[in-house]
Chains A and B, each alone.
Chain A
Amino acid sequence: MSVARTIAPHDGLPDSAYAPVVRAIDDAAAADAHVHAVVSEGLNRLGAAFASRSEAQRVRALGAMESSEFFRLARGKTLGILYDSPAAYAYFGYQGEAFSKGGYLTRGFNDLKWLPDVPPQDSGPVP
Chain B
Amino acid sequence: MTLIAQDDANAVVIIGSGAGGGVLAHELTRRGIKVVLIEAGARQSLASFSQNPGKAFEQLSWLDPRTSSGTWTVPQDYPGLPSWTCKTVGGTTVHWTAAAPRLNPWELRARTAYGAVPGTSLIDWPLEYAELERYYGLAEQRMVVTRRHGNPGLPASSNFKVMYNGARRIGYKRVHTGYMAINSRPADDRAFCIQQGFCIQGCKTGAKWSTLYTEVPRAEATGHLDLRIQCQAVRIEHAKDGRVTAVIYRDPQGVEQSQKARLVCVACNSVETARLLLLSESARHPHGLANSSDQVGRNFCHHVAGFIWGAFEKPIHFYRGTTLAGIIEDEIRNDPARGFVGGYHLELAALDLPSLPLAGFPCTTWGPDLAFFMDHYARLSGMLINGEDMPRSTNRISLNPAVRDRFGLPVANIHCDEHPNDAAMRAHAQRQGKAVYEAVDAVAVTFSRQTPATHNMCTARMSADPAEGVTDAHGRTHDVPNLFISDGSALSTPGSANPTLTIVALALRQADYIARQMRAHDL
Do A and B bind? yes
The chain A residues found within 8 Å of chain B, CB to CB, are: 6-10, 55, 59, 62-63, 66, 72, 75, 79-80, 83-84, 88-89, 92-100, 102-105, 107-112, 114-118, 121-127
Chain A residues whose C-beta falls within 8 Å of the C-beta of B132 in the assembled complex: none
Q: Please tell me if the beta carbons of A99 and B316 are within 8 angstroms of each other in the complex.
A: no
Contact A126/B51 with A10-B374, A110-B321 known, Cβ cut-off 8 Å: no
| Cβ contacts A to B, 27 pairs, < 8 Å | A8-B357, A9-B367, A10-B374, A10-B375, A62-B366, A72-B363, A75-B366, A84-B54, A84-B353, A94-B352, A94-B378, A97-B52, A99-B194, A100-B51, A103-B193, A103-B195, A103-B196, A104-B196, A105-B194, A109-B321, A110-B158, A112-B316, A118-B164, A121-B176, A123-B154, A124-B153, A124-B184
Interface residues of B in 397-437 (CB under 8 A from A): none
Contact A122/B353 with A10-B371, A84-B54, A115-B440 known, Cβ cut-off 8 Å: no
> Within the complex, what minimum Cβ distance (angstroms) separates A103 from chain B?
3
Contact A118/B160 with A10-B375, A84-B354 known, Cβ cut-off 8 Å: yes
Contact A107/B51 with A94-B353, A112-B315, A127-B184 known, Cβ cut-off 8 Å: no
Contact A97/B198 with A8-B371, A110-B155, A112-B161 known, Cβ cut-off 8 Å: yes
Chain A residues whose C-beta falls within 8 Å of the C-beta of B154 in the assembled complex: 123-124
Chain A residues whose C-beta falls within 8 Å of the C-beta of B192 in the assembled complex: 127
- Of the residues A63, A79, A104, A121, contact of B197 by C-beta under 8 Å: A104
Contact A89/B353 with A8-B366, A97-B198, A124-B184 known, Cβ cut-off 8 Å: yes
Is B9 at the interface (CB under 8 A from chain A)? Answer: no
Q: Please tell me if the beta carbons of B367 and A7 are within 8 angstroms of each other in the complex.
A: yes
Give complex CA distance A107, B192 in Å: 16
Q: Please tell me if the beta carbons of A109 and B320 are within 8 angstroms of each other in the complex.
A: yes
Chain A residues whose C-beta falls within 8 Å of the C-beta of B440 in the assembled complex: 115
Chain A residues whose C-beta falls within 8 Å of the C-beta of B368 in the assembled complex: 9, 55, 59
Chain A residues whose C-beta falls within 8 Å of the C-beta of B205 in the assembled complex: 99, 103
> Within the complex, what minimum Cβ distance (angstroms) separates B314 from chain A?
5
Q: Please tell me if the beta carbons of B161 and A110 are within 8 angstroms of each other in the complex.
A: yes
Q: Please tell me if the beta carbons of B378 and A110 are within 8 angstroms of each other in the complex.
A: no
Interface residues of B in 130-163 (CB under 8 A from A): 146, 152-158, 160-162
Is B243 at the interface (CB under 8 A from chain A)? Answer: no
> Within the complex, what minimum Cβ distance (angstroms) separates B355 from chain A?
9
Q: Please tell me if the beta carbons of A92 and B374 are within 8 angstroms of each other in the complex.
A: yes
Mark B212-250 against chain A: 1 for CB-CB distance below 8 A, else 0: 000000000000000000000000000000000000000
- Of the residues B156, B194, B354, contact of A103 by C-beta under 8 Å: B194
> Within the complex, what minimum Cβ distance (angstroms) separates A118 from chain B?
4
- Of the residues B158, B204, B374, contact of A8 by C-beta under 8 Å: B374
Q: Please tell me if the beta carbons of B354 and A92 are within 8 angstroms of each other in the complex.
A: no
Give complex CA distance A95, B165 in Å: 25
> Within the complex, what minimum Cβ distance (angstroms) separates A105 from chain B?
4
Interface of B is mostly: loop
Q: Please tell me if the beta carbons of B374 and A127 are within 8 angstroms of each other in the complex.
A: no
Contact A126/B155 with A6-B367, A9-B367 known, Cβ cut-off 8 Å: yes
Q: Please tell me if the beta carbons of B314 and A114 are within 8 angstroms of each other in the complex.
A: yes
> Within the complex, what minimum Cβ distance (angstroms) separates A44 from chain B?
21
Q: Please tell me if the beta carbons of B161 and A92 are within 8 angstroms of each other in the complex.
A: no
- Of the residues A89, A99, A125, contact of B155 by C-beta under 8 Å: A125
Kindly count the residue-residue contacts between A and B in the assembled complex, taking CB atoms under 8 Å apart.
Answer: 168
Chain B residues whose C-beta falls within 8 Å of the C-beta of A116 in the assembled complex: 161, 165
Q: Please tell me if the beta carbons of B155 and A123 are within 8 angstroms of each other in the complex.
A: yes
Q: Please tell me if the beta carbons of B374 and A115 are within 8 angstroms of each other in the complex.
A: no
Is B356 at the interface (CB under 8 A from chain A)? Answer: yes
Mark B348-361 against chain A: 1 for CB-CB distance below 8 A, else 0: 00001110111000
Q: Please tell me if the beta carbons of A59 and B367 are within 8 angstroms of each other in the complex.
A: yes
Q: Please tell me if the beta carbons of B177 and A122 are within 8 angstroms of each other in the complex.
A: yes
Chain B residues whose C-beta falls within 8 Å of the C-beta of A107 in the assembled complex: 320
Give complex CA distance A46, B263 in Å: 62
Q: Please tell me if the beta carbons of A108 and B317 are within 8 angstroms of each other in the complex.
A: yes
- Which of A7, A59, A79, A116 has most chain B Cβ within 10 Å? A79
- Of the residues A72, A100, A105, A117, contact of B156 by C-beta under 8 Å: A117
In the complex, the chain B residue whose C-beta lies closest to that of A120 is B153
Q: Please tell me if the beta carbons of A124 and B177 are within 8 angstroms of each other in the complex.
A: yes
- Of the residues B194, B357, B363, contact of A83 by C-beta under 8 Å: B357
In the complex, the chain B residue whose C-beta lies closest to that of A11 is B371
Chain B residues whose C-beta falls within 8 Å of the C-beta of A55 in the assembled complex: 368
Is B444 at the interface (CB under 8 A from chain A)? Answer: no
Is B370 at the interface (CB under 8 A from chain A)? Answer: yes
Is B185 at the interface (CB under 8 A from chain A)? Answer: yes
Is B253 at the interface (CB under 8 A from chain A)? Answer: no
Chain B residues whose C-beta falls within 8 Å of the C-beta of A108 in the assembled complex: 158, 317, 320
Q: Please tell me if the beta carbons of B375 and A118 are within 8 angstroms of each other in the complex.
A: no
In the complex, the chain B residue whose C-beta lies closest to that of A12 is B375
- Which of B152, B156, B160, B440 has most chain A Cβ within 10 Å? B156
In the complex, the chain A residue whose C-beta lies closest to that of B321 is A109
Is B42 at the interface (CB under 8 A from chain A)? Answer: no
Is B447 at the interface (CB under 8 A from chain A)? Answer: no
Give complex CA distance A8, B162 in Å: 27
Q: Please tell me if the beta carbons of B164 and A122 are within 8 angstroms of each other in the complex.
A: yes
Q: Please tell me if the beta carbons of B156 and A83 are within 8 angstroms of each other in the complex.
A: no
> Within the complex, what minimum Cβ distance (angstroms) separates A57 from chain B?
12
Contact A92/B375 with A83-B357, A118-B156 known, Cβ cut-off 8 Å: yes
